[in-house]
Chain A
Amino acid sequence: MLNDPRAAVRLVREIEGIALRLAPRRVTLMEVCGTHTAVIVKSGLRRLLPKNIQLVSGPGCPVCVTPPGLIDAAITLAGRPRVILVTFGDMLRVPGGGGSLEAARAGGADVRVIYSPTELFALARENRSSRIVFFSAGFETTAPSVAWTLMQAERSGIENLFVIAANKLLPPALEVLAQAPDLRIDGFICPGHVSAIIGASAFEAVARTHHVPAVVSGFEPVDILLAVLMLLRQVQAAKALVEIAYMRAVTFGGNRRAQVIIRTVFKRVDSEWRGFSLIPDSGLGFTKGYARFDAVMEAGMAVESGRPAPGCMCGEILRGVKSPEECGLFGTTCTPETPIGPCIVSSEGTCAAHYNQKTAGIDDF
């Protein structure tokens, strides 16, 4: 049923009905999850929606919002002797101020990709004379698995494991976006798996204080259509509530056990996002008990603020205020094969999605 074209058609009809009543008003809904963006692109969902309902992509890709200075720091660390730099595959091709970790690897640095943080145990054990530096990016979904791994590492006395903490928290970024004067968002399609951990109630401030409706969505095309419909109903009724369209995986309270594990290892810190500069309380730093895992501190490094490549508009694009076509580099010097900014790297990045449609001239089917 979740993949049933009839369910999709039915939901689209309902959406069209409301859109017609709202017309000529233009409704802008933002998804803030890279996997949502990927599903929307892959299923061609935008094309099914009425013209006055616009879906825009927000900062849903945690590696895209990682500031270039931190990537440069990781590249520097990876280049040091007896360092194995470990990260998720997503991070490998994301450019910092200069190169990427993939380029560093091609240049001889020991850079490895893992699927699960639990792989760090074996890496640390099998390479005792090296420092294992885990470049940890991700939102709240990923944070508890990293935190649990560090708790285990602490317990079993693993001493050669360090972490570059690039983990980010989404609700503070949504609050910034909800208030942005250059952006008018009528509703947020909230990330389903982040919410499985933190609970839908984490988006209460967005809805109550900033009066932007928020609906937590699952990851089938039909899930997303359902979330769009629920948001439009709220817009129509001039309400701003938090609702869940992904009941099978999300509650209002979230996963309490995971929340405790995160709090044991990490504390909230102000954090720099690419495109946003500093957002208060939007990142994770180490608590006192886990400070020794801090790779940047251990290496005695200062992380430069770092500049994105000249002309790169990924910052504005991540905030949803500019579209890729407004960027001078887009599609000319910056392509998926030769990425300059982060948004063109992975298939779900906003620029990558637009790039494929641009080359195809797709608007006219």
Chain B
Amino acid sequence: MRNLIEEIFVSAFSNDILCELGDSAVIRSGSAGKLAFTTDSFVVKPLFFRGGDIGRLAVCGTVNDLAVAGARPRFLSVSMIIEEGFPISLLKKITRSVTAAAREADVVIATGDTKVVERGAAEGIFITTAGVGDIPEHVSVGPERIDVGDAVLVNGFIGDHGVALILGRGEYDFKSDLESDVAPLAGMIESILMVCPGLHFMRDLTRGGIAAALNEVASASGKAIEVDEAAIPVRHEVSAVCHLLGIDPLNIGNEGKCIIICPARDCDTVLAVMQRHEYGRTAAVIGRVIEYGKAVVIGRTAIGSKRIIDMPSGRLLPRIC
């Protein structure tokens, strides 16, 4: 996927804005000030899972991409590609989720599009959202601002979404009440920026999990990150499923989690604000940016040794050996 993006699209579309490859593009348009602009497509299976559905996901994914760019999300577009014969009742249910999530994130669905394709040309429904948000002039987040000594925080349990999907797909005979963490983080991030407008960087955790996000941050900033693996919040159920399938919780997808990198002196304040918020109750400080000379992610293991946490490659496959 990464190769695909870099070799085909970046080289073809190349321009200064795109090549930043951030969660959102940061643009200036006339007198509107700094804007964040992003888009994302959702092809999740199953469409409905514990804790959410494709509708909530489509809003939260885009809202979070805007929020971690330091923006206050304002307007969304929602485009749906619907397979012929898709039940109207489910379409209504998904639409209600879109509306509810948009209201929660305080964004306006300003435009949209609908296409119906013949049976087999889509799996139920695909949704594409795009979003625009304002970035306050005094906020400036970016990988270049990351400094040695900065604290790295996460807003709670990782891997819930990915594992909820694994359970929801019903491919294995596993059952649990575990719910996806899918949530719009704009409110929490706004509160954080209020107490710490000078924070250095944010990134939401999606496919590839926290391992992918940390590695992207390391390579974008050219700095090393050391994390205390025991400090990363993981639910028992998530670690049980990971054990069963031989996968690493650090590589599992999330939809309501982000990492925040801030100056060490602001760390306690940021943590306190996060923990007061519904979507940050189990937030934790998980590591720091260190002087190492290489852009890598180093994990301090439970038994007191160190390892490299690498970029997850390929699809997550269950293994038995």
Residues of A within 8 A of B (CB): 3-5, 8-9, 34-35, 38, 41-45, 47-48, 60-63, 88-90, 92-93, 113, 115-116, 137-139, 142, 221-222, 336-337, 346-347, 356-357, 359-362, 365
Contact = CB atoms under 8 A, between A and B. Distances in A.
Contact of B321 (A4, A63, A356): A63
17 contacts: A41-B307, A42-B301, A44-B301, A44-B307, A47-B305, A47-B306, A48-B305, A88-B321, A90-B321, A93-B317, A115-B244, A138-B321, A142-B320, A222-B303, A337-B3, A365-B292, A365-B306
A61 B245 CA distance: 15
A359 B229 CA distance: 21
A43 B305 contact: yes
Given A137-B321, A357-B308, 15 more contacts: A4-B303, A5-B303, A44-B299, A44-B303, A44-B305, A44-B307, A47-B305, A60-B321, A61-B321, A88-B318, A88-B320, A89-B317, A93-B317, A115-B172, A222-B303
User: Which 8 A-B residue pairings sit nearest by Cβ, starting from the closest?
Assistant: A44-B305, A89-B317, A8-B303, A44-B307, A89-B318, A336-B313, A5-B304, A356-B310
B158 to A, nearest CB: 16
Interface of B: 3, 171-173, 244-246, 248, 292, 294, 296, 298-299, 301-308, 310, 313-314, 317-321
A115 B248 contact: no
Contacts of A5: 302-304
The CB with the most chain A CB atoms within 10 A, among B299, B304, B305, is that of: B305
B305 A90 contact: no
B302 A221 contact: yes
Contacts of A142: 320-321
B314 A365 contact: no
A142 B321 CA distance: 9
A276 B241 CA distance: 35
Nearest to A8: B303
B294 A361 contact: yes
Contacts of B301: 42-44, 221
Contacts of B292: 365
Given A43-B307, A347-B248, A360 B296 contact: yes
A90 B247 CA distance: 11
B319 A360 contact: no
Contacts of A90: 317, 319-321
